[in-house]
Structures are given as C-alpha cells and as structure tokens.
Structure 1
C-alpha cells in the first residue's frame, strides 16, 4: 500500500513539474487562440480552420487531450499547419510557455523573426 501511495505521489509531482517546463518547439510553430467547435472544425484566432486527420492535441502536461474534452473553451496554444492548411499539432500552453513572448502568430512573422532553438525565444527583426 505504501509503495502505491509513494508511486502515485511521485507521478503527480512529476506531472506538476513537467507542466511548468518549457517544451521544445520548431520555428514552424505558431501561437494562437484555439476554440474547438465541433471536431474536426475549430476556430483559430477567430477564423474557421480544420484539424488534420491524425492531428494531436497535447495538454499543458504534454498528455494527449481529446477534442471533445475542450469543446467551446478558448485556449492559448502553439500549433503547426500542414502545407494543405490543416492544423496538425496543437500544444495547450503551460504558464512557463505563456510567459515566453514574443512568439509569432503568422507564417510571415516567423519568416522575418529570428528563432533561437536553445532557449526557445524569438527576436523581432
């Protein structure tokens, strides 16, 4: 019994610590406001968009989140877009990631800003 409680406590504290860490994102990752309307339909930054087949939504602890669980919620996220225009990967931001500003919201911004992958920061040029 003691081992089970200890293992559960360690798992919960590990998830809490993980939620505060900054995940690694690519220069193609954009920031936006996501609202799942009816899967696969979403609003991204107030505009109609669709999730790609096989898309993944990860919560602030990096665990997968089902679209139905967040329907109607306005969430600040990082996301990637396929060449077809469909949204592929979505990460719901944790407090450490939310504090990391500025972050590009459009492809044109990411093309003109400079990205430092080591500390996951952008510099406007």
Structure 2
C-alpha cells in the first residue's frame, strides 16, 4: 500500500513538472498576443476578436482559468479558432514554450511550414 501511494505521488509530481515545461499543442494552434478587454471580447494581435461560447483558457501551469480574470493582461498565447472564426482554445505560454520562437502566427504560415508533433517544433521549407 505504501509503495503504491509513493508511486502515485511520484507520478503526479512528474506530470506537474512536465506541464510546467512542455505541453502538446495541435498543429492548428497559432501564436499571438491576447488581451481580454471585456469578456468575451478580446484583442488578438491588436485586432478585435471574440472568444467562443465554451472557450477554454489554460494558464502557464495548464490549469483552466476564467477568461474574465485575465482582463487587461497582455499575454503571449497559442490559440485555435473554430469554423465560425471565434477563438476556442487558448494556452498562455510558459517560459519554456516562449523559447520556441518559430511558431506560425497566421493560417498561411501554418499551411506552408512543416510541423513535428513529437517535439512540438515548426520548420520553414
């Protein structure tokens, strides 16, 4: 019993450590600068945009946060857009993720670059 509890605690600490340094993003995720102005309205890369109903925002530790709690903060994020053009998923980048400088900012860049999902890197052709 004690060995199982110790193993579970060790596994949980490894998951937390990984979440703080490296997350897996979909190939459709774009990078941008997000400012929540008045929920659900946001500024994305200086342009007005809107969060979708049910949008999910995760902070640097991969924990869900209410978007309204981020009002006024300028955040470097990865985000996905649903078919209607509303922002659906938002991940606030941690320090390790910000170090990965090459990430598409537009759908055109995403379509022309190569994505390696295993190590979460992009390369230009």
TM-score bin, normalised by smaller chain: 0.7 to 0.9
* Structure 2 CA distance for aligned equivalents of residues 79 and 59 of structure 1: 12
TM-score (norm 2): 0.85
Q: How many residues align?
A: 116
TM-score (norm 1): 0.85
Quote the residue 1:5 is aligned against.
none
- Is contact 2:20-2:62 (8 Å) kept? no
Gaps of 5+ in 2: 1-9
Quote the residue 1:118 is aligned against.
118
- Is contact 1:18-1:61 (8 Å) kept? no
Residues 54-91 of structure 1 deviation map (CA, whole Å, 9 limit, x = unaligned): 00000000101111211000000000001110000000
Deviation at 1:15, TM superposition (A): 8.1
- Could you say what secondary structure the match of 1:110 adopts? helix
Deviation at 1:18, TM superposition (A): 4.0
Question: Considering only aligned residues, what root-mean-square deviation do their CA atoms show, in Å?
Answer: 1.9
Residue 53 (str. 1) matches residue 53 (str. 2):
yes
